[in-house]
Protein backbone atom coordinates (compact mmCIF):
# COMPACT_ATOMS: atom_id res chain seq x y z
CA UNK A 1 0.00 0.00 0.00
CA UNK A 2 2.79 2.44 0.88
CA UNK A 3 4.60 1.47 -2.32
CA UNK A 4 1.46 2.21 -4.35
CA UNK A 5 1.09 5.58 -2.65
CA UNK A 6 4.74 6.48 -3.31
CA UNK A 7 4.39 5.45 -6.96
CA UNK A 8 1.24 7.55 -7.34
CA UNK A 9 3.07 10.60 -5.97
CA UNK A 10 5.79 10.25 -8.63
CA UNK A 11 3.20 10.09 -11.42
CA UNK A 12 1.10 13.26 -11.34
CA UNK A 13 -1.23 11.96 -14.08
CA UNK A 14 -2.13 8.94 -11.98
CA UNK A 15 -5.55 8.89 -10.34
CA UNK A 16 -6.15 6.05 -7.89
CA UNK A 17 -9.13 3.87 -8.76
CA UNK A 18 -12.35 4.56 -6.93
CA UNK A 19 -15.49 2.70 -5.93
CA UNK A 20 -16.18 -0.61 -7.58
CA UNK A 21 -12.85 -0.53 -9.44
CA UNK A 22 -10.95 -0.60 -6.14
CA UNK A 23 -12.84 -3.69 -5.06
CA UNK A 24 -12.35 -5.42 -8.41
CA UNK A 25 -8.63 -4.64 -8.49
CA UNK A 26 -8.26 -6.02 -4.96
CA UNK A 27 -10.10 -9.16 -6.01
CA UNK A 28 -7.81 -9.53 -9.02
CA UNK A 29 -4.74 -9.01 -6.82
CA UNK A 30 -5.97 -11.73 -4.49
CA UNK A 31 -6.64 -14.01 -7.47
CA UNK A 32 -3.08 -13.42 -8.72
CA UNK A 33 -1.71 -14.25 -5.27
CA UNK A 34 -3.67 -17.52 -5.16
CA UNK A 35 -1.96 -18.80 -8.30
CA UNK A 36 0.64 -21.49 -7.66
CA UNK A 37 4.04 -19.87 -7.04
CA UNK A 38 5.58 -21.22 -10.25
CA UNK A 39 2.76 -19.80 -12.39
CA UNK A 40 2.72 -16.48 -10.51
CA UNK A 41 6.48 -16.11 -10.89
CA UNK A 42 6.48 -16.79 -14.63
CA UNK A 43 3.49 -14.52 -15.27
CA UNK A 44 5.01 -11.72 -13.20
CA UNK A 45 8.31 -11.84 -15.09
CA UNK A 46 6.63 -11.77 -18.49
CA UNK A 47 3.52 -9.65 -17.96
CA UNK A 48 4.70 -7.18 -15.34
CA UNK A 49 8.47 -7.04 -15.84
CA UNK A 50 8.10 -7.33 -19.61
CA UNK A 51 10.70 -10.06 -20.06
CA UNK A 52 10.73 -12.37 -23.05
CA UNK A 53 10.15 -16.11 -22.86
CA UNK A 54 13.90 -16.67 -23.31
CA UNK A 55 14.80 -14.21 -20.55
CA UNK A 56 12.22 -15.70 -18.19
CA UNK A 57 13.44 -19.18 -19.03
CA UNK A 58 17.03 -18.22 -18.20
CA UNK A 59 16.07 -16.53 -14.92
CA UNK A 60 13.94 -19.44 -13.75
CA UNK A 61 16.30 -22.09 -15.11
CA UNK A 62 13.53 -23.96 -16.92
CA UNK A 63 12.80 -24.71 -20.61
CA UNK A 64 10.96 -22.07 -22.64
CA UNK A 65 8.07 -24.49 -23.18
CA UNK A 66 7.62 -24.81 -19.43
CA UNK A 67 7.55 -21.01 -19.11
CA UNK A 68 4.84 -20.78 -21.76
CA UNK A 69 2.85 -23.56 -20.12
CA UNK A 70 2.97 -21.87 -16.72
CA UNK A 71 2.05 -18.49 -18.15
CA UNK A 72 -0.78 -20.04 -20.17
CA UNK A 73 -2.23 -21.80 -17.12
CA UNK A 74 -1.93 -18.62 -15.02
CA UNK A 75 -3.64 -16.51 -17.67
CA UNK A 76 -6.40 -19.10 -18.07
CA UNK A 77 -7.02 -19.09 -14.31
CA UNK A 78 -7.18 -15.29 -14.23
CA UNK A 79 -9.49 -15.23 -17.27
CA UNK A 80 -11.76 -17.69 -15.49
CA UNK A 81 -11.74 -15.39 -12.47
CA UNK A 82 -12.54 -12.37 -14.66
CA UNK A 83 -15.49 -14.17 -16.22
CA UNK A 84 -17.15 -14.44 -12.81
CA UNK A 85 -19.47 -11.70 -11.56
CA UNK A 86 -17.66 -9.03 -9.54
CA UNK A 87 -19.85 -9.63 -6.50
CA UNK A 88 -19.22 -13.37 -6.24
CA UNK A 89 -15.69 -14.38 -7.22
CA UNK A 90 -14.78 -17.99 -6.49
CA UNK A 91 -11.05 -17.89 -5.83
CA UNK A 92 -10.90 -21.59 -4.93
CA UNK A 93 -10.97 -22.38 -8.66
CA UNK A 94 -7.53 -20.80 -8.95
CA UNK A 95 -6.16 -23.26 -6.44
CA UNK A 96 -7.15 -26.18 -8.62
CA UNK A 97 -10.27 -27.21 -6.72
CA UNK A 98 -13.65 -27.49 -8.34
CA UNK A 99 -16.19 -26.56 -5.67
CA UNK A 100 -19.12 -26.01 -8.04
Split at pLDDT 50, 70, 90, the class of 78 is: very high
Instruction: Tell me phi and psi for residue 46, to 5 degrees.
Output: -85, -45
Rounded CA separation 88/47 (Å): 26
Q: What percent of the chain has pLDDT over 90?
A: 50
Estimate to the nearest angstrom the gap between the alpha carbon of 82 and the chain centroid: 11
Q: Which of 22, 65, 10, 67 is nearest to 44 (CA)?
A: 67
Rounded CA separation 72/91 (Å): 18
Residue 19 has pLDDT above 70, yes or no: yes
Residue 93 has pLDDT above 50, yes or no: no
Note the CATH number of domain 19-92: 1.10.10.10
Q: Report domain extents, the chain.
A: 19-92
CB 88 within 8 A of CB 38: no
Rounded CA separation 40/87 (Å): 24
pLDDT at 97: 45
Amino acid sequence: MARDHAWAETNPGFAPPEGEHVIRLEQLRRAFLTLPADQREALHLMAIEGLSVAETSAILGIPAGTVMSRVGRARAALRQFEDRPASKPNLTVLRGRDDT
